[in-house]
């Protein structure tokens, strides 16, 4: 099998932005993190290759590696390898290729893969987490901290006990959680890099965070900052909602889209059994996006007609 990859500069920048997050995750949880990332990318590549191998171009896009990496980093460090592989296959097949390949997908492929794993294997996604290493050299000298299994993440702790980790730990990321979603600091730095290099737009990020803040104040009547720094919200705000393919093209629609996802994240966290609402919120936002854009276009046409 000849490996042929279609390089995409924007996707290369996303992978570069993810590199420090992967390194920090290895420090927190051990080298098993890298194994999960590699397996996810291998099966993402192979899946896309099976779809494009007979086409004239016959090249796998760099975006497949972005999907594989993003999917891996949204998973617990204890996730079985075979589940990672299944998730990557589903992400590429049903999140991307069934719509016609790169540039045609309606939903964010990585979120499609994660949702499939979450619904199909809930125990693997919600029960076993790892307490992080916090002192050097940390996980760089370990495969995995098998003696530090916990069932608690910051969000689950709040749902069950009403307490959250200190803001300093949430910001730095020395907490249990999905592999790439712990460090708000590194995610913010990645977001700044992506915005400055014009790889991601700032509008959906701001719209999401403002909406999330307002509805957290409304529903929880508490300081929204710990909720922003907990779970996958920051990771999703920087790397998921800014996906240029599944994001609106209309500027007004971008603001509405971000606000909708922010509201739905808080609503699902507060009123459902799911501890992490962003995943479903983004899928619902992707679902309603065509209706939003249709309504805005129709309104514009009616105004121009007058």
What pLDDT does residue 1 have? 52
The larger pLDDT score, comparing residue 5 to residue 294, is at 294
Q: How far apart are CA 201 and CA 49, in angstroms?
A: 30
Domain that residue 280 falls in: 5-305
What pLDDT does residue 294 have? 87
| Tens-digit pLDDT profile for residues 70-118 | 999 999 999 999 999 999 999 999 999 998 887 788 899 999 999 999 9
Structurally, the chain folds into a number of domains equal to 1
| Tens-digit pLDDT profile for residues 191-246 | 999 999 999 999 999 999 999 999 999 998 888 998 898 878 999 999 999 988 88
Q: Tell me the pLDDT band of 305, cut-offs 50, 70 and 90.
A: low
Q: Residue 177 — left, alpha, or beta (φ > 0 → left; ψ -120 to 50 → alpha)?
A: left
Q: CA of 306: how far to CAs of 26, 250, 298, 300, 301, in Å?
A: 60, 21, 13, 10, 9
First vs last C-alpha separation in the chain: 60
Q: How far apart are CA 216 and CA 223, in angstroms?
A: 8
Residue with tokens 């393919």: 245
149 phi and psi angles, rounded to 5 deg: -70, 135
Nearest of 230, 267, 225 to residue 156 by alpha carbon: 230
Q: Tell me the pLDDT band of 260, cut-offs 50, 70 and 90.
A: very high
∠293-15-190 over CA atoms, to 5°?
A: 75
Helix (H) or strand (E) holding 149: strand 149-150
| Tens-digit pLDDT profile for residues 120-172 | 998 888 887 888 888 889 889 988 876 656 656 666 666 555 567 788 888 99
- The answer for residues whose C-beta is within 8 angstroms of residue 274's C-beta and 6 or more apart is 268, 280
Ordered DSSP codes for 184-203: HHHHHHHHHHHHHTTSS-HH
What pLDDT does residue 154 have? 65
* pTM, 2 dp: 0.92
Task: For residue 197, give the CATH number of its domain.
Answer: 1.10.3430
């Amino acid at each position: 099998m000849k490996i042929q990859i279609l390089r995409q500069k924007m996707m290369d920048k996303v992978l570069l932005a993810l590199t420090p997050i992967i390194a920090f995750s290895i420090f927190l949880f051990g080298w098993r993190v890298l194994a999960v990332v590699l397996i996810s990318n291998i099966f993402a590549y192979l899946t896309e290759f099976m779809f494009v191998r007979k086409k004239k171009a016959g090249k796998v896009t760099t975006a497949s590696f972005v999907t594989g990496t993003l999917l891996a980093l949204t998973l617990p460090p204890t996730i079985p390898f075979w589940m990672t592989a299944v998730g990557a296959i589903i992400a590429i097949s049903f999140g991307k290729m069934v719509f016609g390949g790169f540039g045609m997908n309606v939903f964010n492929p990585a979120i499609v893969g994660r949702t499939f794993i979450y619904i199909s294997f809930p125990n693997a996604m919600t029960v076993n987490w790892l307490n992080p290493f916090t002192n050097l050299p940390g996980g760089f000298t370990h495969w995995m901290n098998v003696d530090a299994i916990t069932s608690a993440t910051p969000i689950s702790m709040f749902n069950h006990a009403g307490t959250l980790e200190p803001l300093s730990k949430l910001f730095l990321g020395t907490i249990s959680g999905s592999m790439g979603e712990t460090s708000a600091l590194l995610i913010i730095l990645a977001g700044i890099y992506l915005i400055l290099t014009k790889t991601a737009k700032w509008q959906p990020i701001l719209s999401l965070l403002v909406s999330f803040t307002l509805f957290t104040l409304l529903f929880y009547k508490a300081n929204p900052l710990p909720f922003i720094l907990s779970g996958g919200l920051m990771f999703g705000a920087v790397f998921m909602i800014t996906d240029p393919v599944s994001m609106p093209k209309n500027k007004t629609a971008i603001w509405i889209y971000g606000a909708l996802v922010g509201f739905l994240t808080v609503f699902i966290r507060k009123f459902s059994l799911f501890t992490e609402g962003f995943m479903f919120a983004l899928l619902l936002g992707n679902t309603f996006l065509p209706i939003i854009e249709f309504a805005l276009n129709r309104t514009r046409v009616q105004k121009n007609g007058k």
